[in-house]
Amino acid sequence: MNTAQTHSLEKTSPPKRQPLVMRLLDKDPGGKITISLLILIGIYVSIANLLIPEDSVFHITAYGVTLLGKYISFALLALSLDLVWGYLGVLSLGHGAFFALGGYAMGMYLMRQIGDRGVYGNPELPDFMVFLNYQELPWFWLGFDNFLFAALMIVLIPGLLAFVFGWLAFRSRVTGVYLSIITQALTFALMLAFFRNDMGLGGNNGLTDFKDILGFNLQSDTTRVGLFLTSIIMLILGYLVSRAIILSKLGRVVTAIRDSESRVRFIGYRVEHFKLFVFVVAAIMAGIAGALYVPQVGIINPAVFSPLFSIELIIWVAIGGRGTLYGAIIGAFIVSYSKTYFTGAWPEAWLYALGALFVLVTLFLPKGVAGLKAQFKENKFLKTLTFKKAN
Protein backbone atom coordinates (compact mmCIF):
# COMPACT_ATOMS: atom_id res chain seq x y z
CA MET A 1 0.00 0.00 0.00
CA ASN A 2 2.84 2.38 -0.58
CA THR A 3 2.69 3.42 -4.21
CA ALA A 4 -0.79 4.90 -4.21
CA GLN A 5 -0.40 7.50 -1.54
CA THR A 6 2.94 9.15 -2.01
CA HIS A 7 1.80 12.22 -3.87
CA SER A 8 -0.61 13.39 -1.20
CA LEU A 9 2.25 14.84 0.80
CA GLU A 10 2.31 18.21 -0.93
CA LYS A 11 4.25 21.14 0.39
CA THR A 12 2.42 23.56 2.68
CA SER A 13 3.10 27.26 3.19
CA PRO A 14 0.61 28.67 0.67
CA PRO A 15 0.89 32.36 -0.23
CA LYS A 16 -0.79 34.31 2.52
CA ARG A 17 -3.23 36.57 0.72
CA GLN A 18 -5.12 33.90 -1.22
CA PRO A 19 -8.71 33.25 -0.08
CA LEU A 20 -9.26 30.11 1.96
CA VAL A 21 -10.90 28.13 -0.84
CA MET A 22 -8.05 28.84 -3.25
CA ARG A 23 -5.54 27.99 -0.60
CA LEU A 24 -7.25 24.62 -0.06
CA LEU A 25 -7.31 23.87 -3.76
CA ASP A 26 -3.77 25.02 -4.37
CA LYS A 27 -1.77 22.34 -6.16
CA ASP A 28 -4.90 20.29 -6.55
CA PRO A 29 -5.77 20.62 -10.25
CA GLY A 30 -8.00 17.57 -10.13
CA GLY A 31 -9.98 19.07 -7.28
CA LYS A 32 -10.29 22.41 -9.04
CA ILE A 33 -11.63 20.78 -12.18
CA THR A 34 -14.01 18.54 -10.23
CA ILE A 35 -15.45 21.38 -8.19
CA SER A 36 -15.84 23.61 -11.22
CA LEU A 37 -17.60 20.77 -13.01
CA LEU A 38 -19.88 20.22 -10.04
CA ILE A 39 -20.84 23.89 -9.96
CA LEU A 40 -21.48 23.85 -13.71
CA ILE A 41 -23.58 20.70 -13.45
CA GLY A 42 -25.54 22.25 -10.59
CA ILE A 43 -26.31 25.40 -12.57
CA TYR A 44 -27.04 23.60 -15.82
CA VAL A 45 -29.31 20.94 -14.27
CA SER A 46 -31.41 23.48 -12.37
CA ILE A 47 -31.90 25.55 -15.52
CA ALA A 48 -32.45 22.54 -17.77
CA ASN A 49 -35.05 21.10 -15.48
CA LEU A 50 -36.94 24.21 -14.46
CA LEU A 51 -36.59 26.67 -17.35
CA ILE A 52 -35.97 24.71 -20.54
CA PRO A 53 -39.30 23.41 -21.95
CA GLU A 54 -39.93 19.69 -21.77
CA ASP A 55 -39.81 19.02 -25.50
CA SER A 56 -36.32 20.42 -25.85
CA VAL A 57 -33.33 18.06 -26.11
CA PHE A 58 -31.60 20.00 -23.36
CA HIS A 59 -34.39 19.39 -20.87
CA ILE A 60 -33.55 17.15 -17.94
CA THR A 61 -36.45 15.16 -16.51
CA ALA A 62 -37.31 14.95 -12.83
CA TYR A 63 -36.03 11.38 -12.92
CA GLY A 64 -32.73 12.61 -14.28
CA VAL A 65 -32.40 15.17 -11.52
CA THR A 66 -33.12 12.59 -8.84
CA LEU A 67 -30.67 10.17 -10.39
CA LEU A 68 -27.94 12.79 -10.49
CA GLY A 69 -28.81 13.75 -6.92
CA LYS A 70 -28.37 10.12 -5.91
CA TYR A 71 -24.96 10.03 -7.60
CA ILE A 72 -23.96 13.21 -5.80
CA SER A 73 -24.86 11.75 -2.42
CA PHE A 74 -22.94 8.61 -3.34
CA ALA A 75 -20.00 10.81 -4.29
CA LEU A 76 -20.07 12.40 -0.84
CA LEU A 77 -20.11 8.93 0.67
CA ALA A 78 -17.17 7.88 -1.51
CA LEU A 79 -15.33 11.04 -0.51
CA SER A 80 -15.73 10.20 3.16
CA LEU A 81 -14.52 6.68 2.53
CA ASP A 82 -11.47 8.01 0.71
CA LEU A 83 -10.65 10.05 3.79
CA VAL A 84 -10.67 6.86 5.85
CA TRP A 85 -9.13 4.50 3.35
CA GLY A 86 -6.93 6.75 1.26
CA TYR A 87 -5.51 8.89 4.05
CA LEU A 88 -6.02 6.84 7.21
CA GLY A 89 -5.24 3.50 5.58
CA VAL A 90 -8.24 1.87 7.22
CA LEU A 91 -10.16 -0.23 4.73
CA SER A 92 -13.60 0.01 6.27
CA LEU A 93 -15.89 -2.71 4.96
CA GLY A 94 -18.75 -1.22 6.93
CA HIS A 95 -18.75 2.38 5.86
CA GLY A 96 -22.23 1.97 4.43
CA ALA A 97 -23.51 1.59 7.99
CA PHE A 98 -22.88 5.28 8.74
CA PHE A 99 -24.55 6.24 5.48
CA ALA A 100 -27.55 4.09 6.36
CA LEU A 101 -27.79 5.49 9.89
CA GLY A 102 -27.84 9.05 8.56
CA GLY A 103 -30.42 7.91 6.03
CA TYR A 104 -32.57 6.35 8.72
CA ALA A 105 -32.44 9.50 10.84
CA MET A 106 -33.62 11.51 7.84
CA GLY A 107 -36.17 8.83 7.01
CA MET A 108 -37.60 9.04 10.52
CA TYR A 109 -38.03 12.79 10.17
CA LEU A 110 -39.74 12.35 6.79
CA MET A 111 -41.97 9.63 8.26
CA ARG A 112 -43.13 12.00 10.97
CA GLN A 113 -43.91 14.63 8.31
CA ILE A 114 -46.44 12.29 6.68
CA GLY A 115 -48.78 12.84 9.61
CA ASP A 116 -52.26 11.51 8.96
CA ARG A 117 -51.77 11.24 5.19
CA GLY A 118 -50.68 7.59 5.49
CA VAL A 119 -52.77 4.68 4.25
CA TYR A 120 -54.20 4.12 7.72
CA GLY A 121 -54.60 7.83 8.37
CA ASN A 122 -53.26 7.56 11.89
CA PRO A 123 -51.88 10.97 12.92
CA GLU A 124 -49.78 9.52 15.75
CA LEU A 125 -48.17 6.44 14.22
CA PRO A 126 -46.52 5.74 10.85
CA ASP A 127 -48.26 3.15 8.68
CA PHE A 128 -45.96 0.25 9.44
CA MET A 129 -46.48 0.72 13.18
CA VAL A 130 -50.24 0.63 12.78
CA PHE A 131 -49.77 -2.47 10.70
CA LEU A 132 -47.59 -4.10 13.36
CA ASN A 133 -50.04 -3.18 16.15
CA TYR A 134 -47.91 -0.62 17.92
CA GLN A 135 -49.87 1.20 20.59
CA GLU A 136 -47.62 4.20 20.89
CA LEU A 137 -44.55 5.73 19.33
CA PRO A 138 -41.31 4.07 20.55
CA TRP A 139 -39.18 6.43 22.65
CA PHE A 140 -36.42 6.80 20.09
CA TRP A 141 -38.87 8.28 17.62
CA LEU A 142 -39.58 11.20 19.92
CA GLY A 143 -38.24 14.50 18.68
CA PHE A 144 -38.01 13.48 15.05
CA ASP A 145 -40.94 15.78 14.20
CA ASN A 146 -38.46 18.58 14.50
CA PHE A 147 -36.08 19.08 11.57
CA LEU A 148 -33.34 20.59 13.68
CA PHE A 149 -33.42 17.65 16.05
CA ALA A 150 -33.35 15.25 13.09
CA ALA A 151 -30.44 17.16 11.56
CA LEU A 152 -28.60 16.88 14.84
CA MET A 153 -29.24 13.15 14.93
CA ILE A 154 -28.04 12.77 11.33
CA VAL A 155 -24.69 14.05 12.52
CA LEU A 156 -24.74 12.60 16.01
CA ILE A 157 -25.77 8.99 15.51
CA PRO A 158 -23.19 8.00 12.87
CA GLY A 159 -20.62 10.14 14.66
CA LEU A 160 -21.30 8.51 17.99
CA LEU A 161 -21.18 5.00 16.56
CA ALA A 162 -17.90 5.81 14.81
CA PHE A 163 -16.56 7.31 18.02
CA VAL A 164 -17.39 4.33 20.19
CA PHE A 165 -16.35 1.78 17.60
CA GLY A 166 -13.22 3.65 16.59
CA TRP A 167 -12.23 4.39 20.17
CA LEU A 168 -12.41 0.71 21.06
CA ALA A 169 -10.74 -0.47 17.89
CA PHE A 170 -7.91 2.07 17.65
CA ARG A 171 -7.15 2.03 21.35
CA SER A 172 -6.55 -1.71 21.27
CA ARG A 173 -4.57 -1.33 18.04
CA VAL A 174 -6.77 -3.46 15.84
CA THR A 175 -5.36 -2.85 12.40
CA GLY A 176 -5.36 -3.97 8.80
CA VAL A 177 -7.39 -6.95 7.85
CA TYR A 178 -8.75 -7.48 11.34
CA LEU A 179 -10.21 -4.02 11.38
CA SER A 180 -11.70 -4.54 7.94
CA ILE A 181 -13.37 -7.71 9.06
CA ILE A 182 -14.83 -6.33 12.25
CA THR A 183 -16.18 -3.31 10.39
CA GLN A 184 -17.89 -5.79 8.13
CA ALA A 185 -19.24 -7.61 11.17
CA LEU A 186 -20.54 -4.27 12.46
CA THR A 187 -22.58 -3.48 9.38
CA PHE A 188 -23.71 -7.09 9.10
CA ALA A 189 -24.94 -7.05 12.70
CA LEU A 190 -26.73 -3.75 12.10
CA MET A 191 -28.35 -5.14 8.98
CA LEU A 192 -29.66 -8.17 10.85
CA ALA A 193 -30.94 -5.94 13.63
CA PHE A 194 -32.68 -3.51 11.27
CA PHE A 195 -34.34 -6.36 9.41
CA ARG A 196 -36.27 -7.20 12.58
CA ASN A 197 -39.77 -5.81 12.86
CA ASP A 198 -39.33 -5.41 16.62
CA MET A 199 -36.68 -2.81 15.95
CA GLY A 200 -39.44 -0.28 15.34
CA LEU A 201 -37.87 1.01 12.13
CA GLY A 202 -39.99 -0.62 9.47
CA GLY A 203 -38.14 -3.96 9.37
CA ASN A 204 -37.70 -5.47 5.94
CA ASN A 205 -39.55 -2.70 4.11
CA GLY A 206 -37.71 0.16 5.74
CA LEU A 207 -39.09 3.67 5.69
CA THR A 208 -40.84 4.97 2.60
CA ASP A 209 -43.89 6.81 1.18
CA PHE A 210 -42.47 10.17 2.16
CA LYS A 211 -44.61 13.21 1.37
CA ASP A 212 -42.69 16.40 2.06
CA ILE A 213 -39.62 17.93 3.64
CA LEU A 214 -39.74 21.18 5.60
CA GLY A 215 -43.18 21.73 4.09
CA PHE A 216 -42.05 21.36 0.47
CA ASN A 217 -43.62 18.61 -1.57
CA LEU A 218 -41.00 15.97 -2.39
CA GLN A 219 -42.63 15.26 -5.75
CA SER A 220 -42.38 18.82 -7.06
CA ASP A 221 -39.62 19.80 -9.46
CA THR A 222 -38.44 22.76 -7.42
CA THR A 223 -37.99 20.63 -4.30
CA ARG A 224 -36.04 18.06 -6.28
CA VAL A 225 -33.78 20.70 -7.77
CA GLY A 226 -33.43 22.24 -4.32
CA LEU A 227 -32.35 18.92 -2.85
CA PHE A 228 -30.02 18.38 -5.79
CA LEU A 229 -28.37 21.75 -5.28
CA THR A 230 -28.11 21.12 -1.54
CA SER A 231 -26.36 17.84 -2.31
CA ILE A 232 -23.90 19.59 -4.61
CA ILE A 233 -23.20 22.26 -2.02
CA MET A 234 -22.69 19.64 0.67
CA LEU A 235 -20.38 17.68 -1.61
CA ILE A 236 -18.27 20.74 -2.34
CA LEU A 237 -18.22 21.63 1.34
CA GLY A 238 -17.28 18.05 2.17
CA TYR A 239 -14.47 18.24 -0.34
CA LEU A 240 -13.14 21.47 1.12
CA VAL A 241 -13.36 20.16 4.67
CA SER A 242 -11.48 17.02 3.64
CA ARG A 243 -8.84 19.14 1.91
CA ALA A 244 -8.55 21.31 4.98
CA ILE A 245 -8.02 18.28 7.18
CA ILE A 246 -5.44 16.78 4.86
CA LEU A 247 -3.48 20.00 4.47
CA SER A 248 -3.47 20.71 8.18
CA LYS A 249 -0.74 19.52 10.47
CA LEU A 250 -3.12 16.89 11.77
CA GLY A 251 -3.59 15.65 8.23
CA ARG A 252 0.13 15.22 7.82
CA VAL A 253 0.32 13.14 10.97
CA VAL A 254 -2.59 11.05 9.71
CA THR A 255 -0.86 10.38 6.41
CA ALA A 256 2.29 9.52 8.30
CA ILE A 257 0.32 7.06 10.44
CA ARG A 258 -0.97 5.42 7.30
CA ASP A 259 2.53 4.95 5.96
CA SER A 260 4.15 3.82 9.19
CA GLU A 261 2.03 3.64 12.26
CA SER A 262 4.58 2.36 14.73
CA ARG A 263 7.14 4.98 13.72
CA VAL A 264 4.68 7.81 14.37
CA ARG A 265 3.77 6.25 17.69
CA PHE A 266 7.43 5.99 18.68
CA ILE A 267 7.96 9.64 17.85
CA GLY A 268 5.40 10.38 20.53
CA TYR A 269 2.07 11.02 18.83
CA ARG A 270 -1.10 9.56 20.27
CA VAL A 271 -1.88 7.69 17.06
CA GLU A 272 -5.34 6.55 18.13
CA HIS A 273 -6.56 10.12 18.71
CA PHE A 274 -5.67 11.17 15.18
CA LYS A 275 -7.23 8.11 13.68
CA LEU A 276 -10.36 8.54 15.75
CA PHE A 277 -10.78 12.15 14.67
CA VAL A 278 -10.64 11.37 10.96
CA PHE A 279 -12.79 8.29 11.38
CA VAL A 280 -15.53 10.24 13.15
CA VAL A 281 -15.44 13.11 10.64
CA ALA A 282 -15.73 10.62 7.79
CA ALA A 283 -18.64 8.87 9.50
CA ILE A 284 -20.47 12.18 9.92
CA MET A 285 -19.92 12.98 6.26
CA ALA A 286 -21.27 9.55 5.34
CA GLY A 287 -24.29 10.18 7.57
CA ILE A 288 -24.98 13.49 5.83
CA ALA A 289 -24.66 11.74 2.47
CA GLY A 290 -27.26 9.23 3.64
CA ALA A 291 -29.56 12.01 4.77
CA LEU A 292 -29.30 13.62 1.32
CA TYR A 293 -29.85 10.29 -0.41
CA VAL A 294 -33.09 9.34 1.34
CA PRO A 295 -35.41 12.23 0.34
CA GLN A 296 -34.23 12.01 -3.26
CA VAL A 297 -34.55 8.26 -3.64
CA GLY A 298 -37.64 8.09 -1.45
CA ILE A 299 -36.80 4.97 0.54
CA ILE A 300 -34.33 3.65 3.08
CA ASN A 301 -34.24 -0.03 4.00
CA PRO A 302 -31.82 -2.42 5.72
CA ALA A 303 -30.28 -3.48 2.39
CA VAL A 304 -28.13 -0.35 2.63
CA PHE A 305 -26.48 -1.96 5.66
CA SER A 306 -25.58 -5.04 3.65
CA PRO A 307 -21.85 -5.82 3.45
CA LEU A 308 -22.23 -5.92 -0.34
CA PHE A 309 -23.15 -2.25 -0.54
CA SER A 310 -20.23 -1.28 1.67
CA ILE A 311 -17.85 -3.24 -0.49
CA GLU A 312 -19.36 -1.80 -3.65
CA LEU A 313 -18.53 1.68 -2.50
CA ILE A 314 -14.94 0.64 -1.98
CA ILE A 315 -14.70 -0.05 -5.69
CA TRP A 316 -15.93 3.50 -6.35
CA VAL A 317 -12.94 4.83 -4.49
CA ALA A 318 -10.56 2.24 -5.89
CA ILE A 319 -11.56 2.93 -9.47
CA GLY A 320 -11.42 6.66 -9.04
CA GLY A 321 -8.06 6.46 -7.32
CA ARG A 322 -7.75 6.50 -3.59
CA GLY A 323 -5.90 9.13 -1.69
CA THR A 324 -6.90 11.86 -4.13
CA LEU A 325 -10.39 12.84 -2.88
CA TYR A 326 -11.59 14.00 -6.29
CA GLY A 327 -10.88 10.50 -7.60
CA ALA A 328 -13.49 9.15 -5.22
CA ILE A 329 -16.07 11.52 -6.69
CA ILE A 330 -15.22 10.49 -10.23
CA GLY A 331 -15.28 6.82 -9.27
CA ALA A 332 -18.68 7.10 -7.59
CA PHE A 333 -20.07 8.67 -10.76
CA ILE A 334 -18.53 6.14 -13.12
CA VAL A 335 -19.57 3.03 -11.18
CA SER A 336 -23.03 4.29 -10.22
CA TYR A 337 -23.74 5.32 -13.77
CA SER A 338 -22.60 1.95 -15.15
CA LYS A 339 -24.76 0.25 -12.56
CA THR A 340 -27.81 2.23 -13.64
CA TYR A 341 -27.00 1.48 -17.26
CA PHE A 342 -26.31 -2.22 -16.84
CA THR A 343 -29.19 -3.01 -14.50
CA GLY A 344 -31.51 -1.36 -17.01
CA ALA A 345 -30.05 -2.64 -20.27
CA TRP A 346 -28.50 -5.94 -19.31
CA PRO A 347 -29.19 -6.87 -15.68
CA GLU A 348 -27.36 -10.20 -15.69
CA ALA A 349 -24.15 -8.64 -16.83
CA TRP A 350 -23.92 -6.16 -13.97
CA LEU A 351 -22.38 -8.53 -11.45
CA TYR A 352 -19.93 -9.83 -14.04
CA ALA A 353 -18.96 -6.26 -14.83
CA LEU A 354 -18.66 -5.27 -11.18
CA GLY A 355 -16.64 -8.38 -10.39
CA ALA A 356 -14.35 -7.81 -13.34
CA LEU A 357 -13.93 -4.17 -12.29
CA PHE A 358 -12.71 -5.28 -8.86
CA VAL A 359 -10.17 -7.68 -10.31
CA LEU A 360 -8.92 -5.50 -13.14
CA VAL A 361 -8.66 -2.31 -11.11
CA THR A 362 -6.67 -3.96 -8.32
CA LEU A 363 -4.40 -5.67 -10.81
CA PHE A 364 -3.87 -2.97 -13.41
CA LEU A 365 -5.01 0.34 -11.95
CA PRO A 366 -3.71 0.45 -8.39
CA LYS A 367 -4.00 4.24 -8.53
CA GLY A 368 -7.36 4.37 -10.24
CA VAL A 369 -8.46 6.74 -12.93
CA ALA A 370 -6.98 9.72 -11.13
CA GLY A 371 -3.59 8.06 -11.15
CA LEU A 372 -3.60 7.07 -14.79
CA LYS A 373 -1.37 9.90 -15.87
CA ALA A 374 1.18 9.25 -13.18
CA GLN A 375 1.06 5.56 -13.93
CA PHE A 376 1.87 6.17 -17.56
CA LYS A 377 4.62 8.52 -16.61
CA GLU A 378 6.27 6.00 -14.36
CA ASN A 379 5.88 3.46 -17.12
CA LYS A 380 4.55 1.06 -14.57
CA PHE A 381 1.45 0.46 -16.55
CA LEU A 382 3.24 -1.73 -19.05
CA LYS A 383 5.05 -3.55 -16.31
CA THR A 384 1.83 -4.46 -14.55
CA LEU A 385 0.36 -5.47 -17.87
CA THR A 386 3.09 -8.03 -18.31
CA PHE A 387 2.15 -9.52 -14.94
CA LYS A 388 5.33 -8.62 -13.10
CA LYS A 389 5.01 -8.86 -9.37
CA ALA A 390 3.81 -5.60 -7.95
CA ASN A 391 6.40 -5.48 -5.24
CB-nearer residue toward other proteins: 43 or 192:
192
Interface residue with other proteins among 35, 72, 314, 334 (CB under 8 A) is 314
Please, what is the minimum distance in Å from the beta carbon of residue 90 to other proteins? 10
Handedness of CA 93, 98, 101, 103 (dihedral sign): negative
Which has the closest alpha carbon to 91: 234, 258, 212? Answer: 258
Among 245, 354, 369, 374, indicate the residue that binds other proteins (CB under 8 A): 354
Binding piece for other proteins, criterion CB under 8 A, among 44-52, 104-112, 179-187, 237-245 = 179-187
Nearest to 105 by CA among 133, 141, 54, 81: 141
Pick the closest to residue 298 from 114, 145, 24, 27 (CA basis): 114
In whole angstroms, how close is the CB of 154 to other proteins at the nearest point? Answer: 23
Over the range 358-380, which residues count as b (16 or more CB within 10 Å of their CB) and which as e? beebeeebbbbbbbeebbeeeeb
By CB under 8 A, residue 300 contacts other proteins: no
Please choose, from the candidates 84, 95, 79, 77, the residue with its C-alpha nearest in 3D space to the C-alpha of residue 239. 79
Q: Taking CB under 8 A as the rule, does residue 266 contact other proteins?
A: no
Three-class SS state of 174 = coil
382 interacts with other proteins by CB under 8 A: no
Establish if 255 lies at the interface with other proteins (CB under 8 A).
no
Question: Can you tell me which of 153, 311, 313, 334 binds other proteins, judged by CB under 8 A?
Answer: 311
Identify the sign of the CA torsion 14, 15, 16, 20.
Answer: negative
For other proteins, which is the closer residue by CB, 35 or 191? 191
Size of site (CB under 8 A) for other proteins: 48
Residues that bind other proteins in the complex, under the rule CB under 8 A: 1, 91, 165, 168-169, 171-178, 180-182, 184-186, 188-189, 192-193, 195-196, 307-308, 311, 314-315, 318, 348, 351-352, 354-359, 361-363, 366, 387, 389-391
